[in-house]
Amino acid sequence: MIKKELLDILACPQCKNPVKLNHDSTGLLCEQCKLQYEIRDDIPIMLIDEAKPLDESSNGK
């Protein structure tokens, strides 16, 4: 699980807007870019090339 302190300072590397955890805490969502950044072994992979586009079912709502 990502600590709140880390989540508070993380930003999307593409648009620099804040990110938030998805509903099952397996990724970080950027609503602006419609991208999800995977979390592997409690480490967020904040690489634009590895981000996955969001679809309507994975936006955490």
Residue 21 is predicted with a pLDDT of: 96
pLDDT in tens, 7-31: 999 999 999 999 999 999 999 999 9
Question: 25-50, pLDDT tens digit by residue?
Answer: 999 999 999 999 999 999 999 999 99
Query: pTM of the predicted model, to two decimals?
Result: 0.84
Which residue in this structure is represented by tokens 């300072």?
9
As a three-state string, the secondary structure of the chain is: CCCHHHHHHCECCCCCCECEECCCCCEEEECCCCEEEEEECCEECCCHHHCEECCHHHCCC
Q: Does domain 4-58 bear CATH number 3.30.420.130? A: no
Query: For the chain, what are the domain ranges?
Result: 4-58
Dihedral angle of Cα 22, 27, 29, 30, to the nearest 10 degrees: 170
Binning pLDDT at 50, 70 and 90, where does residue 61 land?
Answer: very low
- Give the phi and the psi of residue 48 in degrees, each rounded to 5: -60, -40
